[in-house]
Structure 1
Amino acid sequence: MVQPTRTSSTAEIAKNAGAPGKTTKTNQVVVSGSYMEILIGGPYARDKEEHLFGHAALHVFVGGNDFIYDFGRYGRTWGNFDSEGEGVLNVWTSFKTYISGENSLGRVTTGFVYNLDKAKAQAIVAYFDGVIAQKKEIRKKTAAVTRYVLLGDYHPTVNNCTTVTIDGAKISGKPIVQNPSEYSEMRGLSWVERQAARTQKSTQDGIFMPADLQAMLEGNTEARYDKKNIYK
C-alpha cells in the first residue's frame, strides 16, 4: 500500500498515484480499479451497555490509495443525552487500521462496493478536500489517520455519520438514494428517541440512521452495488 505524503492534498495524491508505467514479465504491476465502499457498522454491546445506533463511513480506493471518511461525535458534546457536538471528521489512509478498530468493538460492518472510473473516485476525494479546507483545526495526526474539527457541528438528524456519508457518495453520480421515505424507519432508535427525532429538523433525503441507509442500499433497484463485504 502506498501511503500518501502530507505535503500534497488528498485529491492530488489520488490523481497522481498509480500512474501507468513500463512493466516487464518479471516485474509486473497490477493496479486495482477504483471504487467507493459505503460502510455500515452495526450495533454492539460493551461493558453491559448496548450501542444500537450503528455507524456509517465512506471508503474510497483510487490510485492505489485508501481514503476512509469517518464523521462522528469524536470531540466535545452537548445537548440532551449529548446528542450534539463538535463535527469531527477522521480521514484514514489505512483501511486495515480503520476496520480493525471497528472489529475490536464487536460490531459487524457491511461494505457496499460500487465500481467507479478513476475521475469519479477522484471527485469524491476532492469534495472532502474542500470540506476539510474549511476546518477549524487539526486535532490529531498519525500515519494512519488525521482528525479534523469541521465548521459544521454534529447534529443527530441533519449532520451525522450517515448524512455525511450520503453527501460524499452522491458525488460519484450513483443514484444511491431511492425512495427514501420507504426506508426512513429510524432503525436503532428507541420509541422515545424516535419521538424526539420527529421534533428535529430533517435531512432532504429523510435518511439519517445507518441501518435505514443499509436497508435503502439493499433495496435500491436503480444503483445496485457491485459487491457486498462483511467485516467481523
Structure 2
Amino acid sequence: MPEPRRTESRTVPARESVVRVEMAPDSEFHMLIGGPYEQDGEQHRYGHTAVRIKTPVSDTVFDFGRYGATTGDFGAEGEGILRVWSNFGKYIAGENVLDRTTTAYVYRIFSRHTRPAAAFFEGHVAGGRRREDLELGRSYLRVFQLQQSYHALGPNCTTISLDAASAIWPTYEEGSMEYMDPGAVLSFAERAALKLYGTPDRLFLPENLQRFLDDEPPIRVDRKETYP
C-alpha cells in the first residue's frame, strides 16, 4: 500500500479581507456591439447588438435579428428570430468571419442579478416557436421565432438588448437619446425609407448605442473587450 502523501499547511498573507473576497461578483453581463462590415463588395453599415450572460454555471449569448424572412424597404421588417448560443466561441467566430469588430461592454454582477435579463429572454422564448430548420444541426445553438416581429426601428437587435439590460438596471438608457444620430450610420435612401415609419423614441442603431456607452452612461462599464 503506498505511503499517504504528506501535505503541509501554511499561512498565506491575504491581499484582501475575507469579507471583500466573499462579496466579489461571480457573473457578468456583456453588451456586444458589432461594427459595420463589407461583403461581396457591399457595405453593411447597420451593425449588430447582442447580449452575453455569464454565470458560474452557464455562458449564453442572446442574439436577435433578421435571420428569417424579411419584407419592406431594405429588409426593414421580418420574422423576429432569437438565436440562443451556448458557446460564445462559436458565436464570435461567426462575427469574425464577416471581418467586423465586436466590442463587449462588460458589467461584473452577482448571478442573482442576471436573473431579470435571463427571465426577459426566457419569456420571449416561451411565447415563440422553435425553428430547428435554422439551427442546421448545431448542438450549441437554439433558434426561436418570437411572437414579436422584427423591425429596423425596433424591436430590433439593439432595442431587445437594451430591454434586457434595463431589466437589471432600470436607468440603463437614461440620457441615451442625445446620441440618436441615424445620419452617422444610414445612407440617405435608408433614412428616407425609415421616415415612413415615424421617429423612434429610443436608440435603435448599434453605432449610436456604442457612442453612448463610450461616453458617460448612467451605469458604469467595468471593462471593454474587443474581438477579434
Identify which range, 152-161 or 121-130, moves more after superposition. Answer: 121-130
Aligned to 1:51: 44
Give the TM-score, by structure 1 length: 0.81
Aligned sequence identity (%): 35
SS in 2 for 1:158: coil
Alpha-carbon displacement from aligned partner over 1:128-161 (angstroms, at most 9, x marks no partner): 1111000033334432110101111111102110
Identify which range, 183-192 or 108-117, moves more after superposition. Answer: 183-192
Alpha-carbon displacement from aligned partner over 1:88-126 (angstroms, at most 9, x marks no partner): 000001111100110111000000001111111122112
SS in 1 for 2:142: strand
- Checking the alignment, whether the CA contact within 8 Å between 1:163 and 1:207 is kept in structure 2 is yes
Aligned to 2:69: 76
Deviation at 1:65, TM superposition (A): 1.2
Give the TM-score, by structure 2 length: 0.83
1:176 aligns with 2:169: no
State the alpha-carbon separation in 2 of the partners of residues 195 and 52 from structure 1: 16
1:119 aligns with 2:112: yes
State the alpha-carbon separation in 2 of the partners of residues 106 and 32 from structure 1: 33
- Checking the alignment, whether the CA contact within 8 Å between 2:27 and 2:56 is kept in structure 1 is yes
Aligned to 1:222: 218
Identify which range, 31-40 or 160-169, moves more after superposition. Answer: 31-40
Deviation at 1:202, TM superposition (A): 4.5
- Checking the alignment, whether the CA contact within 8 Å between 1:178 and 1:220 is kept in structure 2 is no
State the alpha-carbon separation in 2 of the partners of residues 95 and 116 from structure 1: 19
Deviation at 1:84, TM superposition (A): 0.9
Give unpaired runs (5+ residues) of structure 1. Answer: 1-24, 26-30
Number of positions where the alignment pairs a residue of Structure 1 with one of Structure 2: 202
Amino acid at match of 1:150: L
Aligned to 1:102: 95
Aligned to 1:185: 181
Amino acid at match of 1:185: D
Identify which range, 156-165 or 137-146, moves more after superposition. Answer: 137-146
Give unpaired runs (5+ residues) of structure 2. Answer: 1-8, 10-23
Residue 176 to residue 32, structure 1, CA distance change in 2 (3 Å): closer
State the alpha-carbon separation in 1 of the partners of residues 29 and 158 from structure 2: 15
- Checking the alignment, whether the CA contact within 8 Å between 1:85 and 1:154 is kept in structure 2 is yes
